[in-house]
Structure 1
Amino acid sequence: MRSFTAVVNPSAGGPGSGSAAAALLLRLTRLLRDAGAPVDVEYSRGLEHAAELARTASGAGRVVLAVGGDGMAGCVGGALVGTDAVLGIVPAGRGNDFARQLGLPSDAEALARMLLDGEPRPVDALEANGVPVLGSVYAGVDALANHYANESRLLRGAASYYVGGVRAAMTWRPVHYRVTIDGTPREIEGFTVVAANSGYYGFGRHVAPQARVDDGLLDVVILKRAPRLLFFQMMRELADGSHVRRPQVEVLRGREVLIEQVAPDARPPLYGADGELPGRLPVKARVLPGALRILLPTGDTPDER
Structure 2
Amino acid sequence: MTGEITLFVNPAAGRGRGRDAAQPAARALRGAGFCVRTVVGTDADDALARARAAVRGGTGALIAVGGDGMTSLALQAVAGTGTPLGVVAVGTGNDIARALGLPVRDPARAGRIAAAALKEHRGRPVDLGRVGGRWFGSVLASGFDSRVSDRGNRMRWPAGRLRYDLAILAELAALRPIPYRITLDGGPALEVEATLVAVGNGPSYGGGMRICGGAELDDGLLDVTVVGECSRATLLRVFPRVYRGTHLGHPAVTVHRAATVALEAPGVTGYADGEPLGPLPLTAEAVPEAVRVLVPAPAVP
- If the length of structure 2 is used for normalisation, what is the TM-score? 0.89
User: Aligned runs of 1:233-252 on 2, under 5 Å?
Assistant: 233-252=237-256
Structure 1 residue ranges without an equivalent (≥5):
301-305
Q: Secondary structure at the match of 1:190?
A: strand
Map of 1:231 onto structure 2: 235
Tell whether the 8 Å contact from 1:191 to 1:225 is kept in structure 2 after alignment.
yes
State the Cα RMSD in Å. 2.0
Map of 2:39 onto structure 1: 42
Deviations 1:200-253 (A, max 9, x none): 101110111110010000000001001111111222111111110101000000
Identity of aligned residues (%): 34
Distance 1:165 1:102, change over 3 A: farther
Would you say 1:127 and 2:124 are equivalent positions? no
Query: How far 1:194 moved relative to its partner?
Result: 0.8
Query: How far 1:21 moved relative to its partner?
Result: 2.6
Deviates more, 1:2-11 or 1:195-204: 2-11
Would you say 1:255 and 2:259 are equivalent positions? yes
**Distance in 2 between residues matched to 1:160 and 1:211, nearest whole Å:** 29
Deviations 1:67-91 (A, max 9, x none): 2221221121122111111111111
- If the length of structure 1 is used for normalisation, what is the TM-score? 0.88
**Distance in 2 between residues matched to 1:98 and 1:137, nearest whole Å:** 13
**Distance in 2 between residues matched to 1:89 and 1:249, nearest whole Å:** 32
User: Aligned runs of 1:177-192 on 2, under 5 Å?
Assistant: 177-184=180-187, 185-192=189-196
Map of 2:8 onto structure 1: 7
**Number of corresponding residues:** 289
Q: Secondary structure at the match of 2:210?
A: coil
Query: How far 1:163 moved relative to its partner?
Result: 5.2
Tell whether the 8 Å contact from 2:230 to 2:252 is kept in structure 1 after alignment.
yes
Distance 1:201 1:177, change over 3 A: same
Distance 1:6 1:168, change over 3 A: farther
**Distance in 2 between residues matched to 1:89 and 1:53, nearest whole Å:** 17
Map of 1:117 onto structure 2: 116
Structure 2 residue ranges without an equivalent (≥5):
none
Q: Secondary structure at the match of 1:287?
A: strand
Tell whether the 8 Å contact from 1:97 to 1:203 is kept in structure 2 after alignment.
yes
**Distance in 1 between residues matched to 2:39 and 2:294, nearest whole Å:** 20
Tell whether the 8 Å contact from 1:193 to 1:222 is kept in structure 2 after alignment.
yes
Map of 2:29 onto structure 1: 32
Query: How far 1:269 moved relative to its partner?
Result: 1.0
**Distance in 1 between residues matched to 2:232 and 2:134, nearest whole Å:** 34
Distance 1:33 1:160, change over 3 A: farther
Tell whether the 8 Å contact from 2:184 to 2:262 is kept in structure 1 after alignment.
yes
Query: How far 1:182 moved relative to its partner?
Result: 0.7
Q: Secondary structure at the match of 1:238?
A: helix
User: Aligned runs of 1:50-69 on 2, under 5 Å?
Assistant: 50-62=47-59, 63-69=61-67
Query: How far 1:145 moved relative to its partner?
Result: 2.4
Map of 2:94 onto structure 1: 96
**Distance in 2 between residues matched to 1:44 and 1:142, nearest whole Å:** 29
**Distance in 2 between residues matched to 1:148 and 1:11, nearest whole Å:** 23
Query: How far 1:148 moved relative to its partner?
Result: 5.0
Deviates more, 1:166-175 or 1:290-299: 166-175
